[in-house]
Amino acid sequence: MKEKRPSFYEECINKGVSRRDFLKFCTAMTALLGLDPGGVAQVVNALETKPRMPVIWLHLQECTCCSESFIRSSHPVVATLLFDRISLDYTETLMAAAGHQAEELMAETMRNHRGEYLLMVEGSIPMKNPAYCCIGGRSARQVVEEAAAGARAIIAWGNCASAGCVQAADPNPTGAMPVHRIIRSKPVINVQGCPPIAEVMAGVIVHMLTFEGIPQLDGLGRPKAFYSRRVHDTCYRRANFDAGLFVESFDDDNARKGYCLYKMGCKGPNTYNACGIIRWNEGVSYPIQSGHPCIGCSEAGFWDNSPFYKHNPGVKGFGIEATADQVGLVIGGVTLAGIAAHAVATNIRKKQMIENKTEE
Amino acid sequence: MKERIVVDPVTRIEGHLRIEAETENGRISNAFSSGTMVRGIETIVKGRDPRDVWAFVGRVCGVCTSTHSLCSVRAVENALGIIVPPSAELVRNLMIATLYMHDHVVHFYHLHAFDWVDVVSALKADTSAAARMAQDMSAWPKSSQGYFAAIQARISRFVASGQLGIFANGYWGHPAYKLSPEQNLIAVAHYLEALEWQKEVVKVHTVFGGKNPHPNFVVGGMPCSINLHEPNAINTERLAFVRQRLEEARTFIDQVYLPDLMMIAGVYRDEWGRLGGGVSNYLSYGDFPMAEYGETDSYLMPRGIVLERNLSLVHPVDARSPSEIREYIRHSWYSYDGGDREGLHPLSGQTNLNYTGPEPPYTHLNVEDKYSWIKTPRWKDMPMEVGPLARLVVAYAARKEPQKSFIDDTLKKLDLPAEALFSTLGRTAARGIETALVANWALEVFDKLMENLRYGDSRMVNHTLWSPNLWPDRAEGVGLSEAPRGALAHFMVIEDRQVENYQMVVPTTWNASPRDAVGVLSAFESALIGTPVHDANQPLEILRTIHSYDPCLACAVHLWDESGSYVHRADTF
């Protein structure tokens, strides 16, 4: 991912325009913008520096929770991302333009920055009938295929774009599909969660801008920096699990002491996410801290791992952890066996994921 | 000469909306509103554990996040006869209040403002004059000349970079923009500030619901335990954190949002206080119960219907009654066994998929026939507007305070008659008035919660009926709430401890639906008729009126079943 886009100034020099003419242009531009003469330096600076990364953000079958989460980012704050770091040329949620002017912007970015722009996708693609999701009269599939063709890489935001999310839950009435099942010719980064944590979204973008490459991914295409640890392993309530201290029903005495939610159906033991570490909304809390079990929203197919409040669900992928609460109940030496079992489970589960991924 | 304008995608909304409008002599003579995406969530929750459904339907919308979850747990509680503990009901009110404040402010600045505010014009502003103007408007401490100069420099740099990002291709310079450069600069500065502010207020959701978007709920109450003597629960420190967020939110709303709203309204009132009225009936289910959910008299926002803009009479509404709410599909991509002209109550309805539109890619929809994924709901066969304006109109007609005085004061300040409420600008103003009221209510609710805690009542969950073994074989429930965008109803039938039927009639279904079987227009379409369009290539005026409703399309289009044979039971109520 070498930076190819020259700044406006570099482009001028390449085309044989002198610096003197460049500065004259800047002065004219300043007047055109109605700035006072002191603004010339700003214009010069802006046109000399490296341009911001062009970004197209598509909205397909989704609920806009990913966009909402994105604007919650605190480091960097979203205004810095939008105005200083990237050039968000197309996003239906925030862009001033509408209708054909909006569509022109997408076409322009695809044309002028071919091979350079980043494509971000929020939402899944309905495969049963193209009319189930249309934008500007074109089907979601057509839009995403065209936009993907010239993208340098694709970020699939959230569970919809990464795994189909709620609309792909049984019986998946619209045939909702994640991006990586449709687009196979480009790298796809699955930033999982419903939605992903704001700082995780910002973190992935910042990584790509700063280190000019794709972050290391796990077998499911998720950045390892945020998805290589189970919520269970990073949970501040883990000591209660190890000690066999469990909540038995919502707001019981144990809940009021902040005991482990495993028996309430917590999916922390088979969910890879950074909730326990980064937490939500600038580190304020995360579901378990606020008394609700993890529902596993960063895992593919988590909706069909329900009922959510059944602590020992007979669902595939749960595997060895099904016995973990029994292990947890028996105090002392057996706890060690529980920990060992968890470690094994992690590896078995990861191996299964990689195999599943290969099958697709 | 007739001209057809198509706006697709309508941006700065949630979801996928297409507007086709015909103009004659520079005014809109006919309009068609189309929802162009479906997901089928009601089908997906069938057969599942009713206690799980809040999480599924919460994902109907991430902008009105939490409102569908709340409506869903209310439907289950209504079906099973569960009474939520008083303190949990108050925490739920704090969840709703937080959503309102966040959602309305983000709508005003980030979705609606560019319809009134010209960003490019702000570059020409005299920053000293802007500072003086802002200081006259409110006590907001940031309104210095240096502050506005820094904002202006930032925007200049951004524009000069040649990469306009989200500002590109706006209708900048359009003659319908009327604010002065200084006013535009103030609004742009607050656009940026609101972007930072909004991530703070949602932290109330994070404390009680664990995250935002999509905080957690639980049937029977709230999942967060309050224990004043425990570091591992919501204790005094967490509560103080919430109070601080609520106070800061109110300050921003009073000192930034409301003054900006009044500034914009003052400039646009003559024209836009008359345009965009739309349908003349208003529906509100009411919300913010200060006692039990079932005690509608305790609601801070009253329930009722106002017909024909008659502000002296409030009609009762019963969402369960099959003779009141009916949905039509004459112009929606569905079919009914009884034919296209029939109207069915949500619980005796059918949802047979029937896409008859053009094969994509298409340039025009066949508006003579079916043209939307949104069904057309009617109350006693009349179209209704829902949303902040509807809630205030119902409250005004019910002589409810503090709503009535606040509305009267605002109208007086703007020197407008009550009829001006029924307009594009009235709708936008109603949202701001409501936000200010909710900001006060949030602190009242918080204080009431503290009072309960002082008396030792911190119960968050009523779990006496948590176990499905205790449930009847069959139960039916209706959950009602007021989402920021308007009246929301969830209908649930539980059979053999599973969801047998689930239906949602949501705000944007009322507002954005196509015309009904007899050709009567719904709110969006009706509000566009008569609107002037200065330049068909830049239909700024269409966006103004459509955005004034704050459309949320993911909510509105969710209703269908792939098998094409999903017939709901007719004997549910």
3-state secondary structure B369-412: CCCECCCEEEECCECCECCHHHHHHHHHHCCCCCHHHHHHHHHH
For the cut 60, the answer to whether the pLDDT of residue A354 exceeds it is no
For the cut 50, the answer to whether the pLDDT of residue B420 exceeds it is yes
Select from B60, B208, B355 the Cβ nearest to the Cβ of A131.
B355
- pLDDT tens-digit readout, B235-255: 999 999 999 999 999 999 999
For the cut 70, the answer to whether the pLDDT of residue A281 exceeds it is yes
**Contact predicate B218/B88, CB 8 Å:** no
- Cα(A224)–Cα(A216) distance, rounded to whole angstroms? 6
Same domain, A104 and A126: yes
> Residue B499 to residues B52, B75, B491: CA-CA distances in angstroms?
10, 11, 11
Predicted confidence at residue A41, as pLDDT, reads 73
Predicted confidence at residue A262, as pLDDT, reads 95
Structural domain boundaries enclosing A8: 1-51
Report the CATH number at residue A316: 4.10.480.10
Predicted confidence at residue A340, as pLDDT, reads 46
Q: Which of A51, A70, A85 is the last residue of a domain?
A: A51
- Cα(A83)–Cα(A74) distance, rounded to whole angstroms? 15
Select from A65, A136, A307 the Cβ nearest to the Cβ of B214.
A65
Same domain, A163 and A263: no
- ipTM at complex level: 0.95
Same domain, A351 and A217: no
Taking each helix axis from N to C end, the angle separating B424-454 and B388-397, rounded to the nearest 10 degrees, works out to 80
- Cα(B47)–Cα(B566) distance, rounded to whole angstroms? 13
Taking each helix axis from N to C end, the angle separating A40-48 and A19-32, rounded to the nearest 10 degrees, works out to 120
- Cα(A73)–Cα(A282) distance, rounded to whole angstroms? 8
Predicted confidence at residue B423, as pLDDT, reads 98
Predicted confidence at residue A37, as pLDDT, reads 64
pLDDT band at B373 (very low <50, low <70, confident <90, very high): very high
Can you name the CATH fold of B2-114+197-359+366-556? Cytochrome-c3 Hydrogenase; chain B (1.10.645)
Contact A45 B165 (CB under 8 A): no
Same domain, A261 and A353: yes
Per-residue pLDDT, averaged over A314-323, amounts to: 40
Question: What is the widest separation between alpha-carbon atoms in chain B?
Answer: 74
For the cut 60, the answer to whether the pLDDT of residue B467 exceeds it is yes
Percent of chain B residues past pLDDT 90, beyond the cut: 91
A71: contact with B, CB 8 A cutoff: yes
Predicted confidence at residue A325, as pLDDT, reads 44
Per-residue pLDDT, averaged over A66-70, amounts to: 97
- pLDDT tens-digit readout, B9-18: 999 999 999 9
Per-residue pLDDT, averaged over B511-528, amounts to: 97
Side chain identity at residue B158, one-letter code:
F
Predicted confidence at residue A359, as pLDDT, reads 41
Contact A306 B49 (CB under 8 A): yes
**Contact predicate B120/B158, CB 8 Å:** no
Compute φ and ψ for B382, nearest 5 degrees.
-115, 145
Contacts of B543 in chain A (CB under 8 A): 98
Same domain, A127 and A221: yes
Same domain, A162 and A307: no
pLDDT band at A339 (very low <50, low <70, confident <90, very high): very low
The chain-wide mean pLDDT, for chain A, equals 85
Predicted confidence at residue B570, as pLDDT, reads 26
Compute φ and ψ for B429, nearest 5 degrees.
-70, -40
- Cα(B213)–Cα(B210) distance, rounded to whole angstroms? 10
- pLDDT tens-digit readout, A237-276: 999 999 999 999 999 999 999 999 999 999 999 999 999 9
A138: contact with B, CB 8 A cutoff: yes
A105: contact with B, CB 8 A cutoff: yes
3-state secondary structure of A255: helix
Please count the residue pairs, one from chain A and one from chain B, whose beta carbons lie less than 8 angstroms apart: 349
For the cut 80, the answer to whether the pLDDT of residue B429 exceeds it is yes
pLDDT band at A42 (very low <50, low <70, confident <90, very high): low
Contact B159 A309 (CB under 8 A): no
Residues in chain B: 573
- Cα(B223)–Cα(A261) distance, rounded to whole angstroms? 11
- In chain A, the residue whose alpha carbon lies closest to the alpha carbon of B115 is A96
Per-residue pLDDT, averaged over A296-306, amounts to: 96
Per-residue pLDDT, averaged over B85-113, amounts to: 98
Give residue B459's region: left, alpha or beta (phi > 0; psi -120 to 50): beta
Q: Which of A209, A227, A245 is the last residue of a domain?
A: A227
Report the CATH number at residue A74: 3.40.50.700
- pLDDT tens-digit readout, B540-558: 999 999 999 999 988 776 4
- pLDDT tens-digit readout, B287-335: 999 999 999 999 999 999 999 999 999 999 999 999 999 999 999 998 8
Per-residue pLDDT, averaged over B362-369, amounts to: 95
Same domain, A132 and A91: yes
Per-residue pLDDT, averaged over B351-355, amounts to: 79
**Would you give the end-to-end CA distance of chain B in angstroms?**
52
Measured CA angle at B278 (ends B277, B281), to 5 deg:
100
For the cut 60, the answer to whether the pLDDT of residue A348 exceeds it is no
Q: Which of residues 217-236 of A touch B (CB under 8 A)?
A: none
Predicted confidence at residue A30, as pLDDT, reads 66
> Residue B458 to residues A238, B98, B235: CA-CA distances in angstroms?
26, 21, 11
Same domain, A65 and A83: yes
Q: Which of A10, A25, A51 is the last residue of a domain?
A: A51
A30 or B473: whose pLDDT is higher?
B473
Predicted confidence at residue A311, as pLDDT, reads 75
- pLDDT tens-digit readout, B294-307: 999 999 999 999 99
Predicted confidence at residue A204, as pLDDT, reads 97
pLDDT band at A47 (very low <50, low <70, confident <90, very high): low
Predicted confidence at residue B306, as pLDDT, reads 98
> Domain count of chain A?
3
**In chain B, where the domains are located:** 2-114+197-359+366-556
Same domain, A46 and A63: no
Measured CA angle at B393 (ends B387, B394), to 5 deg:
90
For the cut 80, the answer to whether the pLDDT of residue A5 exceeds it is no
Contact A173 B110 (CB under 8 A): no
The chain-wide mean pLDDT, for chain B, equals 94
Predicted confidence at residue B559, as pLDDT, reads 43
Same domain, A206 and A262: no
The 10 Å Cβ neighbour count of residue B175 is 10
Same domain, A263 and A125: no
Contact A285 B460 (CB under 8 A): no
Predicted confidence at residue A33, as pLDDT, reads 60
pLDDT band at B449 (very low <50, low <70, confident <90, very high): very high
> Residue A81 to residues A77, A178, A205, A344: CA-CA distances in angstroms?
7, 26, 9, 40
Predicted confidence at residue A167, as pLDDT, reads 95
